Amino acid sequence: MFNSANELEVLEETTAEISQLSSLALAGDPPCSDNSSTGSPEKTGYPDSVYILAANIFQGIRLEKSPEKALIKYGNEPLPSSTESEDESFQRLSYELAFSALKYQDILETILIDSYIFPSTTIPHHLNSLIIVMLYDFQDRKFQARLLSNNEASIAEVLEVENLLNSFKTKLAAALARCRIKHDALSIYHILPETVRNQELRASTLPLYAWINTCKISPEEVYYTLKKNGYNKVKSVLHIDSKVFAVDQHCSDVLIFPSHLKSDLLNIDLFKDYKLIFQDKSRSLAVHSVKALLNMDDDILMVNTGSWYTVAHMSILTNNNTSKIFVCGVQSQAKDPDLKNLFTKMGCKNIEILHETFMNLDLKDHRLQKVKVILLLPRCSGLGVSNPVEFILNEHEDTDLLKDFSQGGPSEDKLHVLAQQQYEQLTHAMKFTRAQAIVYCTCSVYPEENEAIVKKALEFQDHGIKVQPYRLSPPVLPLCSLKEIHLSTDKFFRMEPSEITNGCFLSVLTRERDPSETVSVKDVLARAAAKGLLEGMELGEPSKREKKKKKQRMSLPKSSIADNSGIQMKIAEFLSRETTASANQSETLTTKTSLPQKNTSQVGSSSQVRKPSKPTTNPLVPTIMKNTSSRPYERPTNFVRPRPEDRMIPLKPIEIALPPVMLPFPSPQRIRSHIPTPHFYYRWVGPKTVLPGYLSTPSIPRRGEKPKENFPSSLPRHPRP
């Protein structure tokens, strides 16, 4: 034992060491609160209910030791908690305190043994968890007394443990100093594994990400409101201590804030009214990837969503669509009213909750027949996340992952179990035959949970199903740096943990398009009419007669080609006669019009006949002359039934007023055909030169191209005999 003078010296050294420890941003502290330029207030402790809830959490996640190595025995009975522990802020504080105690469990147990608290005192075993969490907070406060609120009700167990620690304050400080000397560390923080220390360092500087609820406010209004509150828009928020924000490069509806501004931002109405929502960027990347794969009426199935804010963000992005979002795995129906209330406050309307687990979903469930995209967010180790408490509260309910975080990562056995679960979920998602795409996203940095799972699922997918197989598709997100481009060369989207973002892995799987399934314009219009988007329009299925007509067009006999050539020769002779007789305007022009082609095709053939003429430099018709003079005549593939009567149609000369265009020929005359609309006009000047006039109809259809049908036509259509 030390004498009183030595104990005072040790206490002074211990106080200095604890000061160094508290200056570091531990998990129990607010993010970056100690690193801000304005400094942070001294810690005053937590309410009694926070200690109780933290002790119960620690009891469930503490490190189990063999009986021969166990220094302290913990009971199995949880401590009674109050109704305040159900508050979200109380839960967050309790989880942070329990996780901090878990990281330093070995050190805290050694301090309790070295200070002779154990086994000199007779404390019930079920209070030992409470002693651990309160001891961590006691040394984090530099062994100063806790400030109690007058309105707070005291809990007997908390008062008992607090009095015990105060009575051993000097011995506890001395034991802490000896522990630091034993490990030759500047502080107990440096005794932690390197992975845990790096994780805490990133957590102290990691920016805050928040997405805009565009159902309630526009981005421009958000920028204006933030500017009114003293926030300036910048390109990057790194190493800036003032009130600034930036727009994310991958997701245009996501804003970035410095981490030390969180407490100030929570007091702004934008966050109170659910117009801005804090969430990790990886979840925003996942929902934006799904949005890029959707059509207007495609439904979405979300698996293992974790945070309900992810579901709400997906709903906000599809607000202008007719899509429906199915969320599976909500086993307790008691949560339905709370969830519906939350979605109503956020303006979400297209969400449907399924109480079946994903693995138990019926593949032929009629509710899921329009699901085209599946968003799979499997339970993972989450080792790419810097703040595990946020990850546990928002994305997972399994607190055992905190144990893996405290040790720097999961064991090999635990990682194998997680990978097997991820593989089973991904292969099950591939069995939904109507789905066309799967978005697979994790917060892990282990290839065993990422690339290996996707490649294995693609390799062993069931090819017996009568659908096209899945294939790996490139990322649908923008790549904003050379590093991102390098990491995405194998079609996977990766973000490594850094000082600006958590780690993220994202893969997009899409089915190969079936060549036998083509969507026509009529199919698209029919789907739109079924949704009521085309009011007043009637769309029906093509009749058998039209289908037969289409089939005949695709397979015409060779004899029709010869007949068509003869018809073209007759047209050429007719135009030659008309050219000769054009000097005499009173002469009646006649022609035989048994041409089995559509009106739009006649224009093409007429220009083909005049090919021997010298091309004109008229700027109104250069395209037609170039197209027709460079290749021989091609027979159009669209035909209509010839006129029922082979009669002679007189063509009468008329005058047409043209725009003031300088033409090299005087007083052109027009002859209008009596063939039903659309009308085509021809002009000839002199007895020999024939030039096509300005066409008032759309451009001549190319070979094999279906002519436009948006113009009126009185010509009856009948199948070709």
Give the DSSP letter string of 264-318. Answer: HHTTSHHHHTTSEEE--HHHHHHHHHHHHT--TT-EEEEES--SHHHHHHHHHHT
Report helix, strand or coil for 193: coil
User: Which tokens belong to 24?
Assistant: 């570091």
CA distance 146 to 132: 16
List beta partners, residue 397. Answer: none
CA distance 604 to 441: 56
CA distance 355 to 196: 37
pLDDT score for 25: 34
One-letter amino acid of 300:
I
Other beta carbons within 10 Å of 625: 20
pTM, to two decimals? 0.67
Tell me the CA distances in angstroms from 684 to 611, 678, 693, one per residue in order.
15, 20, 9
Q: 589 and 671 in contact (C-beta within 8 Å)?
A: yes
Other beta carbons within 10 Å of 589: 17
Please calculate the CA angle 207-212-214 and round it to the nearest 5 degrees.
Answer: 170
| Helix (H), strand (E) at residue 442 | strand 437-442
CA distance 587 to 578: 9
Residue 685: pLDDT over 70:
no
φ/ψ of residue 655, rounded to 5: -110, 140
CA distance 27 to 199: 10
CA distance 258 to 239: 8
pLDDT score for 542: 55
Domain boundaries, the chain: 48-192, 280-511
User: What's the pLDDT tens digit per position in 217-274?
Assistant: 999 999 999 999 999 999 988 878 889 999 999 999 999 999 999 989 999 999 999 9
Query: How, if at all, do strands 504-511 and 437-442 pair?
Result: antiparallel
Q: Domain 280-511 is classified in which CATH homologous superfamily?
A: Vaccinia Virus protein VP39 (3.40.50.150)
CA distance 294 to 242: 40
Q: How far apart are the first and last CA of the chain?
A: 117
User: What's the pLDDT tens digit per position in 130-189?
Assistant: 999 999 999 999 899 898 877 778 899 999 999 999 999 999 999 999 999 998 888 888
CA distance 158 to 48: 6
User: What's the pLDDT tens digit per position in 55-100?
Assistant: 999 999 998 888 777 778 888 888 988 765 567 788 889 999 999 9
Query: How, if at all, do strands 690-692 and 681-684 pair?
Result: antiparallel
Choice among 348, 443, 480, 504 that is catalytic:
443
CA distance 10 to 2: 9
User: What's the pLDDT tens digit per position in 287-319?
Assistant: 999 999 998 889 999 998 888 999 999 999 999
Specify whether 443 is catalytic: yes
φ/ψ of residue 545, rounded to 5: -65, -40
Interior/surface letters 447-482, b for 16+ CB within 10 angstroms, e for the rest? eebbeebbeebbeebeeeeebbebeeeebbbebeee
Tell me, what DSSP letter sits at residue 447? G
List beta partners, residue 378. Answer: none
User: What's the pLDDT tens digit per position in 535-577?
Assistant: 655 555 555 555 555 555 555 444 444 455 566 666 666 666 6
Tell me the CA distances in angstroms from 262 to 208, 220, 241, 278, one per residue in order.
8, 21, 12, 9
Tell me the CA distances in angstroms from 108 to 140, 186, 334, 659, one per residue in order.
12, 17, 40, 96
CA distance 191 to 197: 9
pLDDT score for 551: 55
Question: In sequence order, what E strands does 644-689 have?
Answer: 653-654, 670-672, 681-684
